[in-house]
Amino acid sequence: MGKTIIEKIIQDHTQDEVSPGRIVWMDLDVRTARDFGGPNVVKNFEREYGEIPVENPRKTFFTFDLCVPACSLKYAENQQVCRLFARKKGIRIFDVDSGIGSHVLIEEGLARARRTVVGTDSHMNILGAVSCFGQGMGDVDITFAFKTGKTWFEVPETVKVVIEGIPSSSTGAKDLALFILKNLGTKKAALKAVEFTGDVFRRFALSDRITLCSMVTEMAGIIGFIPEFDASVEKQIEGFMGVPYEPYAADGDAVYADTIRINAAGLVPQVSVPFLPHKVEDVACLTEIPIDTGFIGSCTNGRTEDIARAARVLKGRKVKDGVSLKIVPATRRVYRELLENGILENLFMSGAIISNPGCGGCAEGHIGLTGSGETQVSTGNRNFEGKQGKGRTYLAGPEVVAASCILGRMGTPEDL
Amino acid sequence: MAEKTIRGKIWMLTGTDGNLIEDIDTDQIYHNAFLHITDISQMGAYALGNLEGWKDFSRKASAGDFVVAGRNFGAGSSRQQAVDCFLALGISLILAPSFGAIYFRNAVNSGFPVIKCPALKDFVASQQLKTGDILYINLKTGEARNEIRDTLFSVEPMSRVQEEIYDAGGLFLYGKSGNRGK
Ligand code: SF4
């Protein structure tokens, strides 16, 4: 019987027989812990295994991204706990200057096609964007992965999601991701791997793939893959990561739990309404809503291309008086690219606040929260009550966030 | 080597309609008001403490009993306490058609037998299972016997991986055993 993409990657990392529902032992190419969860991993490891070395320090990493540099004593202490452990065990740290861990792993070519990666980050499945099996886990599982380089995993079923039609040119990957989320909700892909197909994906750039794959978590899926790409995209990914791009395609006779067709022809910009990511509407229905704050960044929309989209809207314009726009590059590499191509200057001139890279703006990190009654429009992936403070957060793509901050109300670049 | 066949009296987590309750989430199993408790032995008192009709479970259940539940048992948050509270009571097995993914991971990692039985609903409908019945379950072969009604049925056997972790007494002990999977 043929195999789906996830089944092939798992089969490459186990001697057990792979089919949906079976539990297998899987070799891990990379295992990481971040500044949240990391200290628990250290505590568990020291209690259970003491002076024993980690299985392969060169495949083991800490990535600090949630609260960078530490803005509370608790985080400062926790990060230091990880640093001391890392020194002792010879583990490399991507420290507080680096940016979002999952993105750093892609940039460094550590998370690459056909590999397996786990970490204490529920959005680790974002690595599906480069055909890598990434998975977030709890601190007990990650402790064990540090010790043995392995984990057990129940092979998930796969659903195929076919996107038909071409969205309107005023939309980007985030609009499509939100629209797919609206259609799948949190049940249709729950606990399953997803393969996204359709012509729209052929030219999806790496940053677009990251955007869509990051939101598979909100769909309650295990991981998403996009096996459609043309040669230019393949080249782009190879150039970016500096390693050959060798993704799998599913076998022709692979078995899917379900095939779901979604018609996205003529799709217009989308917005997710508080407090559920899958509560999605057309922006056009929400233009009355006044905006206090905007945020552009996160693992979903923190790449150079995402921020450049916003910069094109902001160029020569100003963020409205009384509104603040926070921009957080995903990584240090993104920050440098923005600096080199002049985008940073445009953003600065438009009145935006630009911070160092990391999860700030999404997690309760270093770039502020919302207060009661505050309305935020964000490029993040979650708008649960209380996640970014006491205010209400709408989720949208970078152009909508930029336009809304100029208008002082929800809107698109066409409204300017 | 841990026991392969275990015997226990069952508690069927049924609702007012007599059916097994589905989608019991971790908040119903172990309310977040008690998350501050870190001593496992104190967690038993709160098991199912937030599930309508079952709030007195900890006073009724005895060590060695089994819990039988509807599909997607343990949906929701990742809290380990939702597994530990049953361990504290000495519950020796949970049987359900399916489990929440993280709940299942947490239980397996604790060496606690969580057993899937997709056909459970049918057995309940045909009255082959009732609270108070005594079951024998062979974790390895999936053979199950109801001693009271003298009926045989089957459950999903533990996967090899689950069995190895169970035999070791949990994931950490498994990691120490030098056995690191194949
Ligand atoms: S940006 Fe937000 S969702 Fe993404 S990894 Fe950071 S905290 Fe998680």
- Bridge partners for A118 per DSSP: A31, A135
Length of chain A as a residue count? 416
Stretch (H or E) spanning B28: helix B26-29
- pLDDT tens for each residue of A171-229: 999 999 999 999 999 889 999 999 999 999 998 999 999 999 999 999 999 999 999 99
A34, A35, A121, A378, best to mutate for ligand 1 pocket (most atoms within 8 Å of CB): A121
Provide the token pair at A181: 């989320």
Residue of minimum CA distance from atom 4 in ligand 1: A299
Domain extents in chain B: 7-135
Q: Is residue B147 over pLDDT 60?
A: yes
**Does the pLDDT of residue B87 top 50, yes or no?**
yes
How much is the average pLDDT of B3-22?
94
CATH number of the domain at B7-135, please?
Answer: 3.20.19.10
pLDDT at residue B178 greater than cutoff 90: no
3 state SS of A187:
coil
A62-89 mean pLDDT: 95
Mutating which of A140, A146, A151, A222 best tests the B interface, going by the most B Cβ atoms within 10 A? A140
Confidence band, pLDDT 50/70/90 cuts, at residue B182: very low
Topology given in CATH for the domain delimited by A158-263: Aconitase; Domain 2 (3.40.1060)
Q: CB-based burial of residue B104 (10 Å sphere; 0-12 exposed, 13-18 middle, 19+ buried)?
A: buried
What is the rounded distance in angstroms from the CA atom of residue B150 to the CA atom of residue A366? 64
Give how far Cα A183 sits from Cα of A54, A188, A261, A395, Å.
43, 9, 10, 16
The whole-angstrom distance between A23's CA and the closest CA on chain B is 6
How much is the average pLDDT of B20-49?
90
Contact indicator for A34, A119 with CB cutoff of 8 Å:
yes
pLDDT at A231 (0 to 100): 94
Whether B146 contacts chain A with CB within 8 A: no
Q: Mind giving me the DSSP string for B134-178?
A: EEEEETTT-EEEETTTTEEEE-PPPPHHHHHHHHHTSHHHHHHTT
Burial class of residue B41 in the structure, from the number of CB atoms within 10 Å of its CB (0-12 exposed, 13-18 middle, 19+ buried)? exposed
Average of per-residue pLDDT across A308-323: 98
Give this complex's ipTM: 0.85
| Residue nearest atom 6 in ligand 1 by C-alpha distance | A359
Give the global pTM.
0.93
- What CATH number is given for A271-415 in this structure? 3.30.499.10
* Mean pLDDT lowest among A334-343, A355-364, A397-406: A355-364
Say what the pLDDT of residue B180 is: 53
Residue B181 scores a pLDDT above 60: no
| CATH (residue range A8-154) | 3.30.499.10
Chain B residues with CB inside 8 Å of A137's CB? 105
Task: Choose, out of A23, A40, A45, the residue to mutate when testing the contact with B (most B CBs < 10 Å).
Answer: A23
Q: How far is the CA of A310 from the centre of ligand 1 (A)?
A: 20
- Does the pLDDT at position A241 exceed 90? yes
Ligand 1 touching residue A359 (CB < 6 A): yes
How is chain A split into domains, by residue range?
8-154, 158-263, 271-415
Tokens of B59: 């006073």
Query: Quick check: B175 pLDDT over 90?
Result: no
Do the strands A258-263 and A133-136 form a parallel or antiparallel pair, or are they unpaired? Answer: unpaired
Residue A387, pLDDT score = 83
**Averaged pLDDT score across all residues of chain A:** 96
Interface membership of A15 toward B (CB under 8 Å): yes
- Angle ∠(B82,B87,B92) on CA atoms, nearest 5: 115
Q: Which of B83, B122, B81 is nearest to B99 (CA)?
A: B83
Q: Is A218 in the pocket of ligand 1 (CB under 6 A)?
A: no
Please state, in angstroms and rounded to a whole number, the distance separating the CA atoms of residues A138 and A115. 20
Of A24, A48, A147, the CB nearest to B161: A24
Do the first three CATH levels of A8-154 and A158-263 match, i.e. the same topology? no
